[in-house]
Amino acid sequence: MDILHRVGIENSAPEKVYDALTTVEGLAGWWTDDVTGDPDVGGVLEFRFPPGGFDMKVLDRRPGERVTWEVVAGPAEWVGTTVDWQLRRDGDYTVVLFEHQGWAEPVEFMHHCSTKWATYLMSLKQLVETGEGAPSPKDVHIAYPD
Amino acid sequence: MDILHRVGIENSAPEKVYDALTTVEGLAGWWTDDVTGDPDVGGVLEFRFPPGGFDMKVLDRRPGERVTWEVVAGPAEWVGTTVDWQLRRDGDYTVVLFEHQGWAEPVEFMHHCSTKWATYLMSLKQLVETGEGAPSPKDVHIAYPD
C-alpha cells in the first residue's frame, strides 16, 4: 500500500526542487531542521523530530528527475518502505510526484502519515517558491500537538 | 487502492464534525460553496467546483460516528468509488479517519486528489475549530491554478 501525493511548484526549475531533496540545507528548509548525514547515493540521512525520527538510505538520485530513499530505521511500519520523488518540468511549474511505497497495512498511523506528508509537500512548495518552508518544529499541526 | 487521511479537531465533539459532513451549510463551509442536494441516506449531494464536480449518494450516516458516500457522477476515475468518514472522540479532540476507497489505478490524478483531500481536511478542521474553513473557490492551491 502506498501514500501518493502531487504538488506543482511555480516558477521553479526541477533542479531547484532537486536541491531541496538532496542537500542537508535544503532538507532542513522544509522537513525538519534536525537533519544530518550523507545525501549521496548509498549514504544515510538522519531526520529527527520531537517524537522520534527516520533514517533514510539514498537508493537513487538523478539530477532534476528523481530521488529515492529506503527507510532503514524508524517506526516499525516505516522500516523497509521506500520514499520516491519524481520531478518534471511543465511550463513554469515543476511537478512533484511523491510515493511512500510498501506499507504492509492501512493502519491509522498510515492515515496520519499521509496527511502529514501532504503538509510537508506544501512546505517544500513554499520553500522553493518563497524561500521559507515550515519544517519541524515549525510544522503544521494536523492532529494532537504532534 | 485507497486514499487515507487523518486529522484531529480540537475542542470539538464528534457531533459538530458530523454536522459539517451531513448538512448543506456545513459542507459549504469547508469543501465547496457550490453544494446542493439531499444529505439524508439515499439522497444525492451535488458538489461543484470551477473545473467540474462530483455527485455523491449518501450510503450511510450514523450521528457522531460515520458518514459514507458513493460517487455516482464525476470524473471517470471517481465514479463507483466510496468516500468514508469515521469519527471518534479522544479527549478534547475529534479524530477524523478518512478513506477514499476503490481507485482502480494509481494514476497521477489519484496523487493530486490525495494531496487535495488533505488540504480540504485541514479546511474542515479550521471550520470546526475557528468557524471559518477554506472551501472552493477559496481553497488552497496545491499545483496549477486549480
Q: What is the largest distance, in Å, between two alpha-carbon atoms of chain B?
A: 40
Judge whether A104 and A76 are in contact, CB under 8 Å.
Answer: no
Collapsing DSSP states into helix, strand and coil, what is residue B117? helix
Give the C-alpha separation, A131 to A140, whole Å.
17
pLDDT band at B145 (very low <50, low <70, confident <90, very high): low
Shortest CA gap A74–chain B (Å): 20
pLDDT in tens, A94-138: 999 999 999 999 999 999 999 999 999 999 999 999 999 999 999
- Tell whether B110 lies on the interface with A, counting CB pairs under 8 A: yes
Give the nearest chain B residue to A120 (CA atoms). Answer: B115
Disruptive mutation site among B111, B116, B139, B141 for chain A (greatest number of A CBs within 10 Å): B111
- Tell whether B128 lies on the interface with A, counting CB pairs under 8 A: no
Tell me which residue in A5, A97, A111 faces B6 most closely, judged by beta carbons.
A111
Give the count of Cβ contacts less than 8 A between chain A and B.
Answer: 87
Complex confidence, ipTM: 0.96
Shortest CA gap A12–chain B (Å): 12
Q: What is the mean pLDDT of residues A47-57?
A: 95
Judge whether B36 and B44 are in contact, CB under 8 Å.
Answer: no
Q: What is the pLDDT of residue B131?
A: 97
- Tell whether A119 lies on the interface with B, counting CB pairs under 8 A: yes
| Residue B146 DSSP symbol | -
For the stretch A34-41, contacts whose Cβ atoms lie closer than 8 Å and that sit 24 or more positions apart, written own/partner, are A34/A136
Q: How many CB atoms lie within 10 A of CB B80?
A: 12
Average model confidence (pLDDT) for chain B? 96
Please check the confidence at residue B28 and state whether its pLDDT lies above 90.
yes
Placement of cell 542537500 in the chain: A23
DSSP for chain A, written as a single string: --EEEEEEEET--HHHHHHHHHSHHHHHTTTBSEEEE--STT-EEEEEETTEEEEEEEEEEETTTEEEEEEEESSTTTTT-EEEEEEEEETTEEEEEEEEE--SS--HHHHHHHHHHHHHHHHHHHHHHHS----BTSPPP-SS--
Closest CA to A58 of A48, A44, A46: A44
Placement of cell 532503514 in the chain: A72
Q: What is the mean pLDDT of residues A22-32?
A: 98
Please check the confidence at residue A86 and state whether its pLDDT lies above 70.
yes
Please check the confidence at residue A44 and state whether its pLDDT lies above 90.
yes
pLDDT band at A145 (very low <50, low <70, confident <90, very high): low
Disruptive mutation site among A115, A116, A141 for chain B (greatest number of B CBs within 10 Å): A115
pLDDT band at B146 (very low <50, low <70, confident <90, very high): low
Q: What is the mean pLDDT of residues B29-50?
A: 98
Which residues make Cβ contacts (< 8 Å) with residue A137, sequence separation at least 6?
Answer: A32, A33, A49, A50
pTM here is 0.97
Q: What is the pLDDT of residue B51?
A: 83
Q: What is the mean pLDDT of residues A50-70?
A: 96
Collapsing DSSP states into helix, strand and coil, what is residue B115? helix
